[in-house]
A and B are shown apart, each in its own frame.
Chain A
Amino acid sequence: MKELMQKLRDASLEAISAAENIDGLEALRVKYLGKKGELTGILRQMGQLSAEERPAMGQLANALRSDIENAIEERKSALSEKLMELKLEAEAVDVTLPAKDVRIGHKHPMYNVLDQIKDIFIGMGFEIVDGPEVELADYNFTKLNIDEGHPSREWTDTFYFAEDSSILLRTQTSPMQIHAMETKPLPIRMIAPGRVYRKDEVDATHSPMFHQIEGMVIDKGITMADLKATLNKVVEKIYGEGTVTRFRPHHFPFTEPSCELDIRCHKCGGKGCPTCKGEGWIEVLGAGMVHPKVLSGCGIDPEEYSGWAFGMGLERLAMGEYKITDLRLIFENDVRFLEQF
């Protein structure tokens, strides 16, 4: 009987390891372990054994059953693993094929830059104000200390709606300084980005409509040191840490003292190159201390309050940021251009 069991063990384990699929394995289970299976057959002969032999034989038989069962389970899991492998192989894709089309829209590159600047100022406690583009000459010029005879008022430079030159398309965002001072409670920290208009023919660097950002702070005890501190920070945020700046005297009718802010040319490090036209510096913005005449014209006492203001062109900034070589691209809105940003 012992030999029979050994024979069965050898035969069954060999058959199981040779089984090629789950169904075949199930058939083997029935063949060896089923009610009419071979092991059962052997066990039926247990009755012929002596009472002393039986327990040992029983033990052997149980061990054999458990070994066959284990072998079937093992083989089963090996087979299903193989099956999965085949399935996965059949399902494989060429990952280099093109993806399904996903459309993500693009912000206009100029507004990318504008939003960046807005965020910088918002972080410094500034608010954003918006105002009319069809403007009174009073706001665009007179209240900004730009006298009647100033060349920028000429009809060759400014678009007018009224024969008496009283209504125009704003030529700068600076009238927003006046609107803010006239309507907002003090202190004021604001920027005012927007469209401005000048009578320039369209070419690679000119457009009759372009964008500026105005900024202004009015508070007690504001000094030129504040102006420098804020604008240095802003420039550092725009152009990166370690940007070297210089403040250079300039002239604007509505600020005094006035300055322009240059940054050291990032291309040549100040040695002079075509990018900075050999100067080593690139002009970034104009600024100055709000002229006391402008303050008092808006009903603010210049003895009590002072402030500073700045203005910068957006197009040139965006063109510099993205190395855009022709201003016309900005207003052409070719999708092949827009989708680059």
Chain B
Amino acid sequence: MKLSRKWLNEFVDLPLSEVDDRTYAEAMSISGSKVEVTEDLSTKIVNVKVGRIASIEKHPNSDHMFVCMLDVGAEEPVQICTGAWNIHVGDLVPVALHNSMLPGGVKITKGKLRGIPSNGMLCSLKELDCTTHDFPYGEITAAAILGNYHPIDPAKPSISADIKAGDKIFGKVVAAEATAVENAGVNLWKITLAPQGELVTNCQNIHVGDLVAYDTAKNHICTLEDLHAKQEEFPNCIPDGILILHEDVKPGDDIGVMLGYDDHVVEFEITPNRPDCLCTIGLARETAVTFGKEFRQHTPVVKGIGGDINDYAKIIIEEPALCPRYTARMVKNVKIAPSPAWMCERIRNAGMRPINNIVDITNYVMMEYGQPMHAFDFSCVANGEIHVRRAAEGEAIQTLDGTERKLTTDMLCICDTDKPVCVAGVMGGANSEIVGDTAMVLFESANFNGPSVRRTATALGMRTDASGRYEKGLDPENTYAAVQRACELIEMLGAGEVVDGIIDVYPGKKPQTTIELDAAKINAFLGTDIEEDFMRKVLIDLGFTLEGNTIYVPSWRGDVEHYTDIAEEVARFFGYNNIPVAFSGGNTTGGGFNENQLCERAIGEALRSMGMDEIITYSFISPTYYDKIRMPKDSALRDSLKILNPLGEDTSIMRTTILPSMLEILTRNYNYRNKEAYLYEIGRIYLKREDGLADEPKIVSIGSYGPNVDFFALKGWVEALLNTFDIKNLRFRAEKNNASYHPGRCAKVYSGETCIGVLGQIHPEVAKNYGVDAEFYCAELSFETIFALKGGIPVYQPLPKFPATTRDIAVICDEALPVGDMVDTIMAAGGKYLKECKPFDIYKGVHIVTGKKSVAFSLVMRADDQTLTDEHAEETVKAVLDALQRKHNAVLR
């Protein structure tokens, strides 16, 4: 929301000289109207002055440029070169002097153009960031100057190069020479042609001595269009050039001031609960209370010319739920014209563009009152009836932006008896657009249901200034004042005659909200000690009324319905920053991490101590990722929660496995040519539940690649991690059936019979699916299982007092026998003296039968109460060897 400070001053005396932008922004922000940015418009156009052209000479070094001398109100004239052909001696033009600034931060300095000094630039409309809506007379028509003719085919010119005055061109069109050029009013020039005499034209580019094409039948100087000529044939006769001013200005006047840029604009971020602040009046009220100033309310006065609107128009609301109020007035004998400069200025400064008086009035009222207005060309409203109804099946409308829109039955429309003429609250229809010959206008000032407007605007893909306001829910009481203001402006601008009477259909009138004022309760809630008188004053200044302790909430404050809302109003103006900073104490709470959170922290610490970096990945993945990791087609994990409105396929389902997320990051790092990566994430997976929600267990995901990474490195990390939590009876079992992993390099890890997770090398086919030719190693461990299995507080074990004895044994067994199984057997058979068993050598080859292998173990034995005797050691080794033979048919080598 952009607010012009000049406009604001109509309602509150707050001159810039008294309160600068920064002070204003700070005060408004802390009273609840957040200021985003302030802009001093006078910096937009700097040192651009009105100049009068004193002389024009041909540029000596150019066939299409001119050298002008200008009176810019200074002692010395200023010389400027220009390529524009539409200027004349005596014209008033905008002159960007040396060291000037144009909109968009364009800096102009002096220089030389083809060797001739040029001390600035003459400006076009565009260079001033204006359009013909700002200056309708700025539209430029170009005559075809015969001297500028360049035939498309030099061999076949349409006009001979030596043509002279009086020569026939075609039909009744002859060449004529301009012998005098004189201004004859706004955008009109009196041209004396030899020998034909005088005529008036709006072509701006004719100068004494020019040969032009003169239509003797029409007494008319021909444009390119009249000659059916292409632009390239007359390259310098263009409908563009310098803005020739017809304002009440003199040389030396400031163009910025002329455009109304002697203003400051404040841009607010208005919260959605305060649509009443999306206009000058709403912000003026807030400003007045913030600065303790008087708020000057304006009541529009309309004279009217008699008659009765009811004789012309009828309004029927068929959907009162979507249109609580529809207020309308009629204007006849409309004279469409440009708006006066003051109105254009305000419209421009508040961020819109002037169009014409009627359209500008609707925008002006919207920006002043916050009430969107619409103006219909009433001659286009069939049978003079307005029906507010939902669009019928298959109906369509061409909106003002020229787009054909298909309507659906949940869209509210303003219709005549036959067709929609407007999409309610969003945009008008082209079929009832205000055009140059519009004579009767119906002003609509209506209230529509916010969400309905928003959905319609979204569905049609056009959010407009009007819909943006409506969707926040506007005050239905505001429609009346707004339509009155529009009609007052019609009369003020002389833009038409206002017919007496107002049509006001108001099916949705709401009772006024009341709240009891309880100062003690408010103070207790805020932790303050604010006087009740202060509270009352704030409320009254904001437009609330009080009867005893009953607060009557004004209609525009739909957000206020509870005593806490009143507390906020009081607090805003008491100052949030004046509320004390104090702990009330309350009851003590213990706080702290719970066991689960501590465990998660400890897992992270353990993995980082092993060199793993933590990653964060998206919870959603692409359904194609299941194929990428070769998840079996019939896997239950393929049944993911599907986002019905995803951003794209890549983020369309909730992951049921964390593996693809890790593989994506490993792949990215690999593709970035990072030579190694050691990564972990403790992330959730999302498993569909009967009730439509999800179980969201956490998975400890580990992923790595690099020159020092192999299966046993990965196994080491997993083992070390699980040992950190004192998880008992760890065993690793080969896993050949997980299609994501290498069938010979994958294991499941168990504690006893409880599976904690899976680890291994990613299947080369999976790696290929990720476009990677490398060994990726990953582990997926269940956080919940680790948490459930983790040991308690460690209990001190006395340190050994007696020395240990070590014996190495080597046995021959089947090649396929897992060493882990043998270790289990050894530990089980070793009895109380065997403390440790470590396999240290595996040998196949010479001296060993094919299909067998030799495995060497180092056995550490110790007695807790004495130095171990040889007999005890021998007994233990024998028991171990017996068990190995019995269970695995393994014999001492």
Contact = CB atoms under 8 A, between A and B. Distances in A.
A134 B669 contact: no
Contact of B591 (A106, A124, A247, A334): A124
Contacts of B559: 251
B613 A330 contact: no
A292 B562 contact: yes
A291 B525 CA distance: 11
B642 A161 contact: yes
Nearest to B575: A247
Contacts of A151: 272, 454, 471
Contacts of A108: 613-616
Given A291-B564, A333-B668, A334-B672, A160 B692 contact: no
Interface stretch (B27-35, B87-95, B809-817): B27-35
A228 B579 CA distance: 8
B646 interface: yes
B76 to A, nearest CB: 39
A336 interface: yes
Interface string A260-271: 100000000000
A258 B646 contact: no
Contacts of B619: 133, 195, 197, 209
Interface string A285-306: 0000101110000000000001
Interface string A218-240: 01111111101110100000000
A260 B269 CA distance: 13
Name the residue among A188, A197, A225 with the largest chain B CB count within 10 angstroms.
A225
A138 B450 CA distance: 21
B171 to A, nearest CB: 61
A107 B608 contact: yes
Interface string A103-144: 111111011000100100110111110101111100000000
Given A161-B692, A223-B584, A335-B679, A104 B590 contact: no
Contacts of A289: 525, 564, 567
A162 interface: yes
A316 B352 CA distance: 33
Contacts of B583: 226, 229-230
Contact of A256 (B34, B562, B593): B562
Contacts of B672: 334, 336
B607 interface: yes
A248 B290 CA distance: 13
Name the residue among A115, A122, A132, A228 with the largest chain B CB count within 10 angstroms.
A228
A122 B592 contact: yes
A332 interface: yes
A149 B34 contact: no
Interface in A79-118: 103-108, 110-111, 115, 118
A334 B669 contact: yes
Contact of A249 (B36, B455, B524, B576): B576
Interface string B582-598: 11111111111110010
B645 interface: yes
B616 A221 contact: no
Contacts of A195: 619
Contact of B568 (A132, A161, A256): A256
Given A161-B643, A226-B584, A333-B668, A104 B611 contact: yes
B132 interface: no
Contacts of B616: 108, 110-111, 330-331, 333
B120 interface: no
A232 B581 contact: yes
B610 A160 contact: no
Interface string B686-705: 10000011101000000000
A248 B585 CA distance: 24
Interface in A147-195: 148-149, 151, 154-156, 159-163, 166-167, 169, 187-189, 195
Nearest to B674: A335
A58 interface: no
B591 A104 contact: no
A125 B591 contact: yes
Interface in A240-290: 246-251, 256-260, 272, 277-279, 281, 289
Contacts of B29: 248, 281
A201 B647 contact: yes
A13 interface: no
B782 interface: no
Given A161-B643, A248-B32, A335-B677, A105 B612 contact: yes
Contacts of B612: 105
Contacts of B528: 223-225
Interface string B7-32: 00000000000000010010001111
Contacts of B587: 187, 219-220
Contact of B669 (A126, A246, A333): A333
A187 B607 CA distance: 36
Nearest to A103: B611
A159 B525 CA distance: 37
B677 A154 contact: no
Contacts of B183: none
A134 B694 contact: yes
B692 A162 contact: yes
A338 interface: yes
A231 to B, nearest CB: 9
B274 interface: yes
A47 to B, nearest CB: 60
Interface string B210-244: 00000000000000000000000000000000000
Contacts of A162: 644, 692
Contact of B590 (A125, A199, A220, A251): A125
Contacts of B615: 108, 333, 338
Nearest to A257: B568
B611 A105 contact: yes
A67 interface: no
B678 A167 contact: no
A339 interface: yes
B562 A331 contact: no
B580 interface: yes
B589 A127 contact: yes
A222 B584 contact: yes
A225 B692 contact: no
A332 B684 contact: no
A159 B451 contact: no
B675 to A, nearest CB: 10
Interface in B837-889: none
Interface string B520-539: 00001111100000000000
Contacts of B609: 104-105
Contact of B589 (A105, A118, A187, A251): A187
B458 A132 contact: no
Contacts of B684: 133
B382 interface: no
A161 B604 contact: no
A130 to B, nearest CB: 8
Interface in B740-764: none
A118 B593 CA distance: 9
B610 A159 contact: no
Contacts of A246: 30, 576-577
Nearest to A199: B647
Nearest to A169: B643
A217 B586 CA distance: 10
B641 interface: yes
17 contacts: A104-B608, A118-B593, A134-B654, A134-B696, A149-B451, A154-B454, A160-B644, A161-B642, A167-B693, A229-B582, A251-B271, A251-B273, A251-B559, A279-B36, A289-B567, A331-B618, A339-B613
Given A279-B25, A306-B525, 19 more contacts: A103-B610, A104-B611, A105-B607, A106-B614, A108-B615, A125-B588, A132-B694, A133-B696, A151-B272, A151-B471, A219-B587, A226-B586, A246-B577, A260-B34, A293-B562, A331-B616, A331-B618, A335-B674, A335-B679
The 3 closest A-B pairs by CB, nearest first: A103-B611, A225-B527, A223-B527
